[in-house]
Structure 1
Amino acid sequence: MRADAQRNRERLLAAAEAVFLERGAEASMEDVAKRAGVGIGTLYRRFPTRDALFAAAYSDRFLSLAAASHARAETLDPLMALRRYLEELVVHTSVYRGLAASLCAMLESGTPGCEATSKEGKRLLKQAQKAGVVRKHVTFDDLVAVAMATSLATEQDRDPAKQAGASTTQVTRLIGLFFDGIALGAGDR
């Protein structure tokens, strides 16, 4: 990538971060381009869709989530490792108000962070199923759907004057309800 193109990309990502933090995921793409000091055509050449911009802006966060989950998983039982991963996915997805609706598209975008997060979630799910603590029919798409639903539910309760992010107490409670449904008890095995 040419140096000027790389600078434009970096400015667009920094502007997207600032605009989405201020106004949520529904902020206009024109506002992002204006904040970056580039034309709307430049934005759409780099990021043809809003979801592509979200995925690129979020890639580093998702890389961090995947790395932390992977490092922590060795110290937890498989069910708890999967549960913590899902809780963190919800909290990360709640940074921009309204981002949850794009979670599935983001995770399929192919950015390094989105790929790492998906790979880690699938690994943890398979590990929990192999250990016999999660029902075999549960899929990674089910986890993503629950993360989206939980993010949407918890963002409604946030005080907009505070830093964006879900209430961890409510996230923990809602994810716990989901895990009560997918976990296999001793009588289920």
Structure 2
Amino acid sequence: MAGHSTEIVRKPRADAVRNRERVLEAAKAVFSAGGSEASLEAVARHAGVGIGTLYRHFPTREALYEAVYRREVEQLSDLAEQLDNAPDPVEALRRWLRANVEFVATKKGMVAALALVAHASTELQAYSFDRLTKAIGALLARAVAAGEIRADISAEDVLRALIGMCYMHDQAGWQTTALRLLDVFVDGLRLRPAHKATTAGPKPARDKTKPTSGRVKPKG
């Protein structure tokens, strides 16, 4: 009897978890698209739940935006850990940075609402900056240790470059431009030992036994 009662309690909890995840996934898609259709009603329709269900999980617009934001940061952090075992450390770094373009697209659809709650926005920025720089740092360190990329760039440098590439474009199709610039950026970090050997090798020593001009000055 007690076991039957426990099962009845657990089932709606599992449904609630699934509904919450469906809402968050739908919100990511809707906010990434942006525009006038990025409403909470559109999120509920996309998730296949009623607007009441959405509000039970996220009583305010800001609460939903914050949950989506944190979920994206956590997923990027998890992805960095998964890529730690990838065979090519440079391609692992590239793949992680490309995943960030999706995160920025979602964030662009929420930035105005997040700014409405200044303290929450500041805390979220600090939270995301810490998690993302740690993720980049681990991927960078692995690529540097493998001798694949230059060692004079920090995780903060990479993150700021990524933000710049994404936020300097607001027109339709900006993601394509950002991804192209990202590839150029990552390729620019690569070390090319063969090229360095041919362009920066030691200069040959001058033979001091030979005269410096065609004319020899007579002695005396």
User: Aligning the two structures, in what range does the TM-score lie when normalised by the shorter sequence?
Assistant: 0.5 to 0.7
SS at match of 1:166: helix
Aligned residues with identical type, % of pairs: 26
Q: Partner residue of 2:24?
A: 13
Uncovered stretches (5+) of structure 1, i.e. residues with no partner: 159-164
SS at match of 1:50: helix
CA distance, structure 2, for counterparts of residue 149 and residue 62 of structure 1: 18
User: C-alpha offsets along residues 61-83 of structure 1, whole Å, 9 cap, x if unaligned?
Assistant: 637844763454x1x2x445433
CA distance, structure 2, for counterparts of residue 43 and residue 100 of structure 1: 15
Shift in Å at residue 51 of structure 1?
Answer: 3.4
CA distance, structure 1, for counterparts of residue 100 and residue 59 of structure 2: 27
Q: TM-score, normalised by structure 2?
A: 0.50
Q: Partner residue of 1:98?
A: 108
1:5-154 aligned within 5 A: 5-6=16-17, 9-23=20-34, 27=38, 32=43, 36=49, 37-38=51-52, 40=55, 42-44=57-59, 48=63, 50-56=65-71, 58=72, 62=76, 65-66=79-80, 69-72=83-86, 74=87, 76=88, 78-90=89-101, 92-93=102-103, 95-96=105-106, 98=108, 105=124, 108=127, 120-132=135-147, 133-136=149-152, 138-154=153-169
Shift in Å at residue 126 of structure 1?
Answer: 0.9
User: C-alpha offsets along residues 100-141 of structure 1, whole Å, 9 cap, x if unaligned?
Assistant: 969x947935xxxx96x76553222112333453233x2222
1:159-174 aligned within 5 A: 166-167=175-176, 171-174=179-182
SS at match of 2:94: helix
SS at match of 2:23: helix
SS at match of 1:96: helix
Q: TM-score, normalised by structure 1?
A: 0.56
Q: Partner residue of 1:176?
A: 184
SS at match of 2:151: coil
CA distance, structure 1, for counterparts of residue 169 and residue 66 of structure 2: 21
Aligned length, in residue pairs: 168
SS at match of 2:150: coil
Structure 1 residues 143, 5: CA separation in 2 closer, same or farther (over 3 Å shift)? same
Shift in Å at residue 16 of structure 1?
Answer: 1.5
Structure 1 residues 147, 53: CA separation in 2 closer, same or farther (over 3 Å shift)? same
Q: Report the RMSD for the aligned CA atoms in angstroms.
A: 4.8
Uncovered stretches (5+) of structure 2, i.e. residues with no partner: 1-9, 115-121, 201-220
CA contact (8 A) 1:82 1:121 kept: yes
Higher relative contact order (CA 8 A, sep 6+): 1
CA contact (8 A) 2:137 2:155 kept: yes
